[in-house]
Amino acid sequence: MSKRLLGLILVLPALATITLLFIVPLAASVVGAFEVEGRYGLGNFDKAFALYSQDILFTVVIVSLSTAIIGLVAIAIGGYLTLGENPVAVAILRWLYRWPLFIPFIVVGQVLRTFLAKNGMMNNTLVSLGILTPLETTSFLDWRGIVIAFVWKQAPFVALLVSGAMASLDRGTIEAARNLGASRLRILIEIVVPQVATTLIVGLVLSFVTMMSVLSVPLMINAQSPTMITADIAFRLNAYRDYGVANALGLISLLITASVAWIYLRHNVRSRA
Amino acid sequence: MTSLATTTPATGRRLPRIDLWWLPRGLVLGLLAFIIFGPLTNLVLWTVAERWYFPHALPLEYGFSYWQRVFSPRGNAMESLANSVFVATLTVIVALALAVPAGYALARLRLPLRSLILIAFLIPQAFPNLPVYVNIARLFYGLGLNGTIPGVVLVHVTHGLVYAVWIATAAFSAVDRELEEAARSIGASALRAFRDVTLPLAAPGLMASAIFVFLESLDEFTGSFFVGAPDVNLLPLLLYTAGAGGNYQIASITALLLLVPSIAFMLVVERFLKADVLSRVGH
């Protein structure tokens, strides 16, 4: 048996599962997006853009902003774990940063809903430190709450991937640059980050698509307008049983994530070339 | 990730004195600790708060009456917890049975369109699952799988396969190919070499992939809602209903129940996910 055939046979059961249980229903929902009262047309998209164009923009901005912050936080954490010169501080950071890693999104939503509320612990601490007065406190349960929830949950995940990749780098170049007097920040930006770029991009792409699919966080932290596409889809289905517009919104967010996955594919092809 | 202490011998010779760098370090680490543990402390406080409203910084009354309500025979937390753990365990078994052969093939054998196959496993994570789950629910309804545990498990398997396959692929590519070839050259069959050499060496990575799948299944909310509810009660559904009803105490107690396995896994994960495997994820 040829190796190619054997490989395909081994991959087949997993691929078949994805195909039957995801790609087929996905295709059904793509077809459904163009279905208006038994005929095909763009009516669902007209309606989706008329009602939700603000939410679509809001989603793209929120998820992109969160991805950018996640990337910066992950590089900072991974960089300090790799280049930090104080072993105690490195050990504390390594113990500290991973706590939110496996906390389910629905729990993150509940945890941050209590923390960021007007009477949450964040405002209470700011008041007791004298930074705010009780009258100045505001609830953070709006777009800021969603960004904070996403970064809180996803930054440790990307930091774990990135610091793993940084740890397996050849230390010779880093030591050489250090001996030549380069600052640690410069070593991080010019030597370390370029070498872990693939892992960083994989982590950020995974985070991006995860954030595009999360329903619980927008529902629990900010369900009022403007909100994220996922919350709109749930609303369309629960309130109106409107599969057409729900599927159209689903297709729009597929196009957004597909463009991000394409960046990954291009990067992957280039680094293999 | 070895420490850099050895590269700065100069500090060793100095007399012990206060390191002023601990000022910014302590500030940043303290802030990080507050950002991470503040919300968790707030959650724990809510689980034992009997009365708490603005502008009081702490609950006015503490007690366990909500715990009694959650664990009373009429509360369905125990049933949800048992269901959640059972579904997650079945999901891990099915997902690994699919992901181990696929990961081995993606890591070792020449496959046409390899990048495209890896991307295919990303699709369940790349599309807002809601409209897809609605269509699955319709399909399962025809097959009699709606509102059953096997139905929920199948949805969770699809959702978790991306972690299972990607990490299994990375785990197998981290195993030294020469060890396998050495086993083959002294007469072991391909299957034997896989079972006795490759599989044990990849085991920590596969364990990590099992952990991810387990947690993804515990976390999963949208699919469980459309395929499982109201017949299969799972913890995330209980948490969501309590939270939507404005009952912060019940929601916080449920959230705490979901937190315990997550944090337990977080504490042991590094034993399974080694740096050489991590650096290969997605390659």
Give the A window 183-222 contacts with B, CB below 8 Å: 196, 198-199, 202, 206, 209-210, 212-213, 215-216, 219-220
Give SS3 for B207.
helix
Please report, for residues A27, A98, A244, B64, the alpha-carbon distance to residue B61 in angstroms, rounded to integers and kept in the order given.
Answer: 54, 33, 49, 10
Tens-place pLDDT, residues A60-86:
999 999 999 999 999 999 999 998 888
Tens-place pLDDT, residues B3-50:
444 444 444 455 556 778 888 889 999 999 999 999 999 889 888 888
| Domains contained in chain B, CATH given | 12-63 (no CATH), 69-278 (1.10.3720.10)
Q: Decide: B140 and B146 in contact? Cβ < 8 Å.
A: yes
Question: Where in chain A are the domains?
Answer: 40-272
Q: Is B275 on the interface with A (CB under 8 A)?
A: yes
pLDDT at B1 over 50: no
Mean per-residue pLDDT over chain B, rounded: 81
The predicted structure's pLDDT at residue A159: 95
pLDDT band, very low/low/confident/very high, at B218 (cuts 50, 70, 90): confident
Q: Cβ–Cβ of B55/A134 closer than 8 Å?
A: yes
pLDDT at B2 over 60: no
pLDDT at A171 over 60: yes
Kind of pairing between the strands at A35-36 and A39-40: antiparallel
| CATH for A40-272, options being 1.20.1440.230, 3.50.50.60, 3.40.50.300, 1.10.3720.10 | 1.10.3720.10
Q: H or E segment at A255?
A: helix A243-272
Residue of higher predicted confidence among A149 and A253: A149
Give ipTM to 2 decimals.
0.84
CA distance B138 to A232: 20
Identify the bridge partners of residue A40 per DSSP, sorted by sequence position: A35
In B, which residues are within 8 Å of A93 by CB distance?
29, 32
Residue of higher predicted confidence among B281 and A221: A221
The predicted structure's pLDDT at residue B75: 65
Q: Is the dihedral of CA B93, B95, B96, B97 positive or negative?
A: positive
pLDDT band, very low/low/confident/very high, at B278 (cuts 50, 70, 90): low
CA distance A140 to A148: 9
Using the structure block, give the residue that is written with the tokens 């724990």: B44
Can you give the pTM of this predicted structure? 0.81
Give the residue on B whose Cα is nearest the Cα of A229.
B128
What does the pLDDT average to over A134-159? 89
CA distance B126 to A250: 11
Give the residue on A whose Cα is nearest the Cα of B24.
A89
Tens-place pLDDT, residues B165-183:
888 888 888 888 888 888 8
